Structure formats: structure tokens, C-alpha cells
Amino acid sequence: MKLLTFDTGAGPRCGVLKDEQVLDVSALIGADRSLPDVRALLEMGGSPVDRVRDALEKNLAAPGIPLANVRLRSPILQPPTVRDFMIYEEHATGQGTRQREEAWYRMPIFYFSNPLCIYGPDDHIPFPSAAERLDYELEIACIIGREGSNVPEADAMAYIAGFCIFNDWSCRDLQTDESAVGLGPAKGKDSASSLGPWLVTTDEMAPYLRDGRLHVKCNVKVNGDYWLKDADGGASYHTWGSLVERASRDSRIAPGDVFGSGTVGGGSIGESIRKGYENSRFLQPGDVVEHEVEGIGVLRGTIDPKINNDPDYRYRAKAQPPLPERGIAKDYKYQLKLP
């Protein structure tokens, strides 16, 4: 199933896609209240995804609206948390141009991103006013469907409701300054994250799941031009189950939590430049960015001009980081080698 959040002008509602029609989930399952997004459905407890599936199989009546006539929102309007991991070695090593710490190979590393600036499909993303180097990051995200703590990897898939596309918009100049201090890339990742176009339930993604990895093809287009083509989403060093185990250990995960995979190999602008894609460069207002993941769909966003732009703002980056050398990784081919 494809669970989504839609809006026809009366506010967001949780929906499910059937034959290019959006069905209102609240009506479909006879909920006693309106469900404003997919998170609200998951928080019902009991097996709410199964309730929706059963209702569809029984052809229960619910109002349908053509997909083309609704505005899609982020499936999770405001996640409880956003944990962003980095499980692709090609991205982690800058396509072999740097070495990673031993800890990266030993455990899935993550940071907490901002759950308050979540954008959805076809939204307009303001260019962050304090930054000059705006980048996209093509990621896959899993959405947690059940509350849990200390979940072992062997049980982890039962806690994942489904998968969507995640774009971790990144201010590379701010990130470079912050990373030098060693506390993480917080402000460089603070302005926007995009999720969508919907949550594809884990059972529907089963044909792509092998050895705890999603073997899907991934593409990036900017203004209609490929900046990444046929990247392998299955080339992750760590598994989805290991993400759930690490996040939940001595902690708590909850319905609607977002776990980003980190950037798929080649899925950032620096990597696109190193691979020699002709038109690749850092983003500018007016650019249309499309991320496509096999089995899930397309997540699109348009870069808007800066708001409240002040060239003298005191917390800008001190200097711009050097540009990647174009074409340096043109012949680089990543091979997954596990311990």
C-alpha cells in the first residue's frame, strides 16, 4: 500500500492510494476522529496498517478523489524525531577520496535532524539566507510504525511501517564550519528536509528487500538533467535492522519516527561533480530537484529565493569550502565489501 497525507483545501488528511484515487483513511476504516496524517494512523495502535489493508480488500466504501486533484503533503507532517544515519560507504568516503574512522564500520552512526522544518512533494524550499552552498542528499527513509525499546536486529522489520524518499537539504558551507568543531552538522541541516511522496508499506517493498537491504535503483535529476543515474540503494554497509537496533538501544522509538539512510552513493552534488556530470553545480533559486527511487516514486522540490537575505549577517560561513575536482571519480565504481 501507499499511505499518504493529502489536502484538498480543507486541511491535511491521511489517505491511501488505490487505482490513482486517494481514499480518506478515516472514512475507510471508520475511525472515530479525523486522521491528519500517516503518523496519526500509526499512533492508533493495534495494527492500523492491517486495518487499512483489510478495508481495501473488502472494498469498503470511502470517498475517492483523483490523485491529480489533491495536494500531497509530507506523509509525516511532524515526526517525533528524525534520525539521519550514514550507511553508504561511497558517500562516507567521498568516493574513495577520504578514509572513515573505524567506528563508522563498526556501528551505524546518526545525528538528530530538525523535525520542525519538514517539506513534502512539489513544495518550494527557501534558499537558506545564511548559506551559499546548498546541496541535496538523495536518501531512503524508513518510518517507524510501533513503539519500542532495545529492539534486536532480528525483530526490527516488524517495527518498520514502510519506506519513503528523504531529501536532506544541506548547507555545505555552514556544515564545514560546524564539523570542524566536532559537535555535528546541526545548523547546516536545520532549514529543510523533504519526505515523500508517500509511505510504501514494508510488504509492498518486500521484492526489493534482501539481506536487510533495499535493492532499488536511485536517480537524481536537476532541471530535467540526470545528476545521478541508476545508483544502487542496496549497496549499504549497514542494514535497516541494524539502524533500528542501534536507535532503540537504551532509548525509545515511536510511531512516525523517521530514520534516514544517509546519502545513497553518488547522491550529493559533490559526488555528481566528481563523477563528471556535465551540468552539476551547487543549487540556485529556480532549480527543480527530482529524486526517484525504484518501488517508491519521485520526490520533487523547487528552490525559492532567499528570505531576509543579509550579506552582513554575522553567522555566515567564514569562507567557502573548496569545490570538488570535476571528473576525479569518473571511473570510480563502488564495490560493497562487508567484514
The full DSSP string for 98-131 is SPPPHHHHHS--EEEE-TTSEE-TTEEEEPPTT-
Q: What is the CATH number of domain 82-304?
A: 3.90.850.10
Contacts of 30 (CB under 8 A, 6+ apart): none
Residue corresponding to grid cell 469498503: 60
DSSP state of 74: -
Contacts of 333 (CB under 8 A, 6+ apart): none
- Chain centroid to CA 335: 23
Give the per-residue pLDDT at 130: 97
Nearest to 289 by CA among 309, 306, 308, 268: 268
Give the per-residue pLDDT at 45: 86
Domain boundaries, the chain: 2-71, 82-304
- State phi, psi for 32 to the nearest 5 degrees: -85, 5
What are the average pLDDT values for consecutive 10-residue runs of the chain, which has 339 residues? 97 97 95 96 95 91 90 98 98 95 97 97 98 98 98 98 98 94 90 98 98 98 98 98 98 98 98 96 98 98 96 94 95 93
Torsion of CA 112, 119, 132, 221, to 10 degrees: 110
Give the per-residue pLDDT at 212: 97
SS3 at position 248: helix
Query: What number of other Cβ atoms are within 10 A of residue 312's Cβ?
Result: 5
Nearest to 173 by CA among 304, 313, 275: 313
* Residue ranges of E strands in 177-281: 193-201, 209-210, 213-214, 217-222, 225-232, 258-260
Give the per-residue pLDDT at 5: 98
Nearest to 326 by CA among 63, 91, 95: 95
Using CA atoms, how far residue 22 sits from 6, 73, 229, 266, in Å, is 8, 13, 30, 34
- Helix (H) or strand (E) holding 5, with range, is strand 2-7
Amino acid letter, 321: P
| Helices and strands counted in the chain (H then E) | 8, 21
Nearest to 78 by CA among 250, 256, 227: 256
Give the per-residue pLDDT at 119: 98
| Residues 210 and 295: beta-carbon distance below 8 Å | no
Contacts of 297 (CB under 8 A, 6+ apart): 165, 196, 197, 198, 200
Cα–Cα dist 305/268, whole Å: 21
If 0-12 CB within 10 Å is exposed, 13-18 middle and 19+ buried, where does residue 258 land? buried
